[in-house]
Amino acid sequence: MDTILWSIGNADAVEVLGRLWRPFLISMVLYFSGYFAVWFQTLARVARIRPAFRGLTPTEAVDVLVVIPTLVRSASDLDDLRDAAATVVSNGYPGKVVLVMSIDGADDQPAVVGELERWALAIRDRMTVFVARVPRRAGKGVAVAAGLARAELAVAAGELASVPPVFFNMDADGVLAPRALERMVAKLVRPGWLTRQRPMIVASNVLVRREHYWAGVRAYCTMRYQLALQVAREYMTSISIARNNRGLLPVTGVSGALYCTWTDLHAQQARHAAFMHSLRYRDLAKWWLGAAPPSFAAFTGAPNVEATAGPGDDTWVAWIAMAARWKRGKIDLELPRSPLHALWRLLRSGLVRPIAYDPLARVYTATPTTVRALFKQRVRWNTSRTFLLARFGRMPAFSWDLGFWVVADLLLLIWIHTVILIALVGWPFAKRPAAWLALVALGYLTEVVIRGVATLLAMLQDHDVRGHAHKFLALPLSGVFHLVFNILSTIVGFVQDFLLFGVNTHFAPEETLAASHTGRVALAYRITRCAKLAVRAVVHGDVRLGWFWLGWGATPWTANGYAGWTNRANKIGRGGVLPAPARRSAARDKLVGCLPPAQP
């Protein structure tokens, strides 16, 4: 660090920032490359070269299953859920729609859930509606799986002829724009004009509801509306434009507010999660030496639905979609047969994009309006991808069409944010701080202009410049917002996840996280655990040596690393080490339902 500061202090601003300018510019071109395609599409639409949306034909309008997973804790939550369900009922989809509202932790509010079930019965004449219950809170991914299971149960009971082939996941605070479902299904069932391949998953255009971010000029100066306005403008570029998936780097995620995919793909998530966790480094070594990789079709392990829950559950589905392919008209999730096959699939994935997008398939959502809530949300979002890489285990090393693009996207964002941080924190130590600060100010103004042009492009794409025009008022503080809620939140999350005790967002209960058989890097936790086990081994002599000293999971001597994350009664200590033998049984009694079976 001293060497770095000395170098900056004895260098000119142009010399330091000039060296970073060219690679930074290349990175920005890669990041914004998809925007050029959007410009051409917009010009084609204005010139009436691009054809208008063509509605689904009777054969294309397949049945769809819409699952809305949620926690219902109050009358307000119930009203939001019914508003979301009402927009599904009235969305104008030309085929049959089956709606399942899946309540996570239903036993906590039986009266509210009972009222929802009565409301669902009352609208049965307009749409097939079911309510699924997850008795104890288990996380969004488990609630989504419960919604699919409820549809399968309806088929078994004769209430449905079959499970719909297209699956929608929708957040309970979302409100659909007209024909959003139809537009997304059209993207899913129609082959691409060039590749003749149908996509695996379709993303929606997520927008913040107007009443959440705009209440006049007077409210503009309040923290609540300023934060919401910043988020609303940010969505116009980070989602409305960036999701088009026509850039040099493929898009690697969708929004959980609303996406649609094939039901068959979604139904294989839990089993595929267990399959990924079964892969070992020796399988990868054998694969490089010419042996066939493990077969997903031949895998006989028990499904692990808990592994689909937790932060980034929507990106989890997108990544599985990226690794899937069509084979004889069916979805195939087998690993590439050899590194050459993996290379071919990587090259092919640059052209055949499994993630599609319709910018006019809109869903309007809410956003946190306090600094604390928004920062916590962004910590979860911005660290979820590294956590997902750990959850996917060795699979990305086999499926390069997934692993390469995910890692490339992650490294690109890290590099861009690193250069921004160097520019911001380096000027006080520079030889000529005034010149350095002038260049930083010039860079900030340039960024504001770029964001403004991108925001205008998103408005043109949305066919409504006038309706979104007040979002330009967010531009002066957009750079500060990005620094605090994207860059700083990422740093905080990475420090917690890699150096400290892991990011605890309370997004899923510890029982689910423990059952997922995944962990965190969390060096402070592992070092503390190792030290406590070493002391216990010396004092009591009942701990054998093993890699579990630096591990995360449960053993006869240690609790799972997630113990105490969402239930203080389960908290054993930062090191996760169980008490001495005389008290171990009492401590274990507190962890019933949290710990998986002890490993010998």
Question: What is the per-residue DSSP string for 218-231?
Answer: HHHTSHHHHHHHHH
- Domain end among 502, 532, 550: 502
Q: What is the mean pLDDT of residues 514-529?
A: 92
> What is the residue range of 346's domain?
191-502
10 SS3 class? coil
pLDDT at 469: 92
Asked which of 502, 531, 563 is the last residue of a domain, the reply is: 502
Q: Is residue 253 part of a domain?
A: yes
pLDDT 10s digits, 365-374: 999 999 999 9
pLDDT in tens, 158-175: 999 999 999 999 999 999
Q: Are residues 437 and 571 in the same domain?
A: no
| 528 lies in the same domain as 494 | no
- CA atoms of 358 and 268, how far apart (whole Å): 25
Q: Give the dihedral of Cα atoms 233, 237, 243, 244; nearest 10 deg.
A: 130
Same domain, 435 and 544: no
Query: Do 537 and 435 belong to one domain?
Result: no
- Specify if 74 maps to a domain: no
- Tokens representing 27 are 């990175």
Among 474, 502, 530, residue at a domain's last position: 502
| Residue 257 belongs to some domain of the structure | yes
Helix axes 433-461, 223-238, angle to 10 degrees: 70
Distance CA 513, CA 138 (A): 9
Confidence class of residue 46 from pLDDT cuts 50, 70 and 90? Answer: low
What's the burial of 330, exposed, middle or buried (CB within 10 Å: 0-12/13-18/19+)? exposed
Tokens of 202: 């379709």
My answer on whether 495 and 576 are in the same domain is no
Task: Report pLDDT for 349.
Answer: 92
Mean pLDDT value across residues 299-319: 90
**Cα angle 486, 375, 103; round to 5:** 115
| CA dist., res. 45 & res. 26, Å (int) | 29
Q: Give me the pLDDT at residue 561, please.
A: 93
Q: Are residues 406 and 548 in the same domain?
A: no
Q: What is the pLDDT, as a whole number, of residue 126?
A: 81
Do 392 and 268 share a structural domain? yes
Q: Which of 24-28, 157-161, 279-283, 450-454 is least confident? A: 24-28
Q: Which of 117-121, 168-172, 578-582 has the highest mean pLDDT?
A: 168-172
Residue 417 within any structural domain of the chain: yes
pLDDT band at 13 (very low <50, low <70, confident <90, very high): low
Residues 448 and 547 in one domain: no
CA distances from 585 to 530, 542, 543, 553, 576 (A): 21, 15, 16, 18, 15
Q: Does 386 share its domain with 253?
A: yes
* Residue 260: CB atoms within 10 Å: 29
- Three-class SS state of 50: coil
Q: What is the mean pLDDT of the chain?
A: 88
Tally the domains of the chain. 2
User: Same structural domain for residues 255 and 389?
Assistant: yes
Looking at the structure, tell me whether residues 448 and 311 fall in a common domain.
Answer: yes
Q: What digits encode the pLDDT tens for the residues 376-390?
A: 999 999 888 888 888
Q: How confident is the model at residue 24 (pLDDT cuts 50, 70, 90)?
A: confident
Q: In Å, what is the CA distance from 531 to each residue of 524, 527, 550?
A: 11, 6, 9
Residue 447 shares a structural domain with residue 580: no
Q: Tell whether 75 is covered by a domain.
A: no
In a domain, 174, yes or no: no
Q: Is residue 299 part of a domain?
A: yes
pLDDT score, position 594: 36
Report the pLDDT value the prediction gives residue 5, as an integer from 0 to 100: 45
What pLDDT shows up at residue 17? Answer: 62
Percentage of residues in the chain having pLDDT higher than 70: 93
Tell me, yes or no, whether 4 lies in a domain.
no
